[in-house]
Every structure is written in C-alpha cells, then in structure tokens.
C-alpha cells in the first residue's frame, strides 16, 4: 500500500519494548495502520532499518510512549508544540502575536487552518479563540495528519492552557481546495494558509523532517477564491517577506514583524 506523497510506502509498528506503554503502543499502531490502510508490523527484535528493508517501506510510523513518531531516511517527525508555548505566554502577558493579529483573532471565533503541518500555529489559534471558539485544521499528507492529530489528541501539553488548546483542535486529512469546495458560504470567520515556502528558509530543523513528506504545491487562485467565499472576515497567508506570492494571489495588506523574514498577507472581506 502506497500512501502520502506519490511513491511513499509506510508501515506501522511499536518500539521494541514499551514497558508500561506496551498495550497502549500496540493499540495505537493497530489503530493507525487500520486508519491509513497500511501494514501493522509486529516489531519483535528488528531494527527499524531491518523492518524498512523487509517491507520495502520508506516511512515507519512507530508507536512510542503512547504517541506516534514517523521515521524516514530524512529524519523523524513527531508532535512537538515548538514555539507555541512562548507565543501563548506572550499573549497572556499582553505582548501579542503576529499571526493572531494578522488573523484578527478574538475569543469565540471560528478558524479554518488549511495547512496544519506541525500544529504549532493551530495551537496558538486555538488558545486565542478559547473555549467558545473553534479551530478546524486540514492536512493533505495522511502521514503528517496522523502523527500531528495523534499528538494533539494524546500528548501532554506544557501546561493546562496548552493542553486544553491542543485537545480542542479538530484535524481532517484533506486537501484545502477539496475541503473548501464543499464548505458552506460564510461558514467560518477566518481562513489561514501557511503553504511550504516557494524558496525555503534553511533555518528550522523541525521543518526538514516535515519537508520530506509535505505537500509542496503552491496555492491556486481558485483556492483563494473559495476561501474568500467560505470566510466571513479574513483570509491570511504566511510567506517569505517580499514573496511574489502575495501579489500573485491578491493579498493587498502585509503584516508581521518589521525585521522578520516572514510576513502575513491579509485580505479583509
Ligand atoms: C509550512 S507547513 C505548515 C506549518 C504550520 N503552520 C505549523 O505551525 O507547523 C505546510 C503544511 O501544509 C500542508 N499542505 C500544503 N498544501 C496543502 C493543501 N493544499 N491542503 C492541505 N494541506 C496542505 C503540507 O503538507 C505541510 O504539512
């Protein structure tokens, strides 16, 4: 069974021995394999390299301590909230956050995040809109979607606020345009896109593991047109500062840190 990017073949397994997590790991590997329609392979004493060779797999989803890690030749992808903790602290201290400002988030808003990735932005959005709000996040790569959705649902947050914000995010394995086409007009407040940069910033180690699997397509005008129909207040896209993508897709307002290498294109509706 091939899954994910064209040609990516994946299997699910557990760590060799999980001590008190053994049963949880077995159940998680089995559930993940079923959900993704990939083989669930008993780990035995084999190394991951041996399993990869035996099953001709490019990627191995490993259930470890009750959460998933995706192991590929390019590196490991596992759920980690990244800078979300610091960003939430800044919000609590009233220092703000560039994404929250670009999206114009206030409590109770309904957010559609079309590019889940590591989930860090979605956590900040979920914290900003609070219990009365909602964040739905889409990810087109099934392996990334599985690992990050599992982490958001089962990993322990750094503190109660993060934990609660993580649990409130609803993840769908879906392509943004496909999802938007069937979404009702004005059915959410804001829509956010953080596509893989046309030219990467070679700075983030976490992103390198993601990059190996991520959907690299540029956004299309049709996707933006659908987003404008579905959102009530704003459509926002993150890109490199000065990227030609902002003009090409019609983002007329640029926000973000003055000295930052990234910027947010904002369309107010
Ligand atoms: C730059 S990352 C997003 C990072 C994210 N904002 C975060 O906080 O980690 C882009 C992610 O969006 C996914 N993606 C790209 N195009 C997509 C599309 N059309 N629909 C759904 N997901 C998409 C990629 O596979 C990748 O995981």
Residues 6+ apart with CB under 8 A from 208: 74, 75
Q: How far is CA 264 from CA 5, 75, 221, 258, in A?
A: 27, 29, 17, 11
Q: Ligand 1 centre and the CA of 22: distance in Å?
A: 32
Residue labelled with tokens 């808003």: 109
Q: For residue 4, is pLDDT > 80?
A: no
Kindly report the number of other CB atoms within 10 A of residue 44's CB atom.
10
Q: What is the pLDDT of residue 97?
A: 97
* Chain CA centroid to CA 13, Å: 22
User: In the numeric block, which tokens belong to residue 245?
Assistant: 């993508």
pLDDT tens column, 92-148: 999 999 999 999 999 999 999 999 999 999 999 999 999 999 999 999 999 999 999
Q: For residue 2, is pLDDT > 70?
A: no
Q: Ligand 1 centre and the CA of 135: distance in Å?
A: 15
- CA-nearest residue for atom 3, ligand 1, is 117
Computed over every residue of the chain, the mean pLDDT equals: 91
Ligand 1 atom nearest the C-alpha of 115 is 12
Pocket test for ligand 1, best of 82, 140, 143 (most atoms within 8 A of CB): 140
Ligand 1, pocket residues at CB < 6 Å: 114-115, 117-121, 138-141, 144, 175-176, 194-196, 210, 214-215, 217
Residue labelled with tokens 């699997």: 213
More confident residue, 58 or 20: 58
Q: For residue 36, is pLDDT > 70?
A: yes
Ligand 1 atom nearest the C-alpha of 177 is 19
Q: CA-CA distance, 35 to 138, in Å (whole number)?
A: 16
State percent of the chain over pLDDT 90. Answer: 78
Ligand 1 atom nearest the C-alpha of 214 is 25
Q: What is the pLDDT of residue 216?
A: 93
Q: Ligand 1 centre and the CA of 193: distance in Å?
A: 8
What backbone torsions phi and psi does residue 47 show, to the nearest 5 degrees?
A: -80, 165
Task: Give the residue-averaged pLDDT of 210-228.
Answer: 94
Q: Which of 6-10, 202-206, 250-254 is predicted with the least confidence, judged by mean pLDDT? A: 202-206
Which domains does the chain possess? 10-73 (no CATH), 84-268 (3.40.50.150)
DSSP 9-52: BEEEEE-S--GGGHHHHHHHHHHHHHHHT--B---TT--HHHHH
Length of the chain measured in residues: 269
State percent of the chain over pLDDT 70. Answer: 92
Q: For residue 243, is pLDDT > 60?
A: yes
Which helix (H) or strand (E) element contains residue 207? helix 205-211
Q: Which of 155, 222, 223 is nearest to 193 (CA)?
A: 223
Pocket test for ligand 1, best of 117, 220, 262 (most atoms within 8 A of CB): 117
């Amino acid at each position: 069974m091939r899954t994910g990017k064209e040609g990516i073949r994946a299997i699910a397994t557990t760590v060799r021995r999980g001590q008190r997590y053994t049963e949880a790991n077995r159940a998680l590997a089995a559930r993940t394999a079923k959900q993704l329609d990939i083989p669930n392979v008993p780990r035995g004493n084999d190394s991951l390299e041996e399993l990869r060779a035996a099953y001709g797999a490019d990627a191995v989803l490993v259930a470890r301590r009750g959460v998933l890690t995706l192991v590929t030749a390019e590196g490991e992808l596992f759920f980690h909230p990244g800078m979300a903790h610091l960003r939430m602290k800044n919000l609590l201290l009233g220092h703000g956050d560039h994404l929250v400002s670009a999206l114009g988030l206030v409590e109770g808003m309904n957010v559609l995040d079309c590019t889940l990735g590591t989930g860090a932005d979605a956590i900040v959005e979920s914290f900003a809109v609070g219990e009365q709000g909602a964040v739905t996040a889409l990810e087109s790569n099934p392996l990334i979607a599985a690992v990050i959705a599992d982490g958001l649902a089962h990993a322990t947050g750094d503190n109660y606020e993060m934990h609660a914000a993580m649990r409130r995010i609803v993840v769908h394995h879906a392509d943004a345009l496909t999802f938007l086409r069937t979404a009702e007009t004005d059915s959410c407040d804001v829509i956010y896109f953080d596509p893989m940069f046309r030219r990467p910033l070679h700075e983030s180690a976490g992103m390198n593991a993601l990059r190996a699997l991520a959907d690299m397509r540029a956004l299309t005008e049709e996707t933006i047109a659908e987003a404008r129909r579905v959102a009530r207040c704003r459509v926002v896209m993150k890109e490199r500062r000065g990227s030609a993508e902002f003009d090409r897709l019609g983002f007329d307002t640029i926000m973000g840190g003055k000295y930052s290498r990234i910027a947010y294109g904002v369309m107010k509706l």
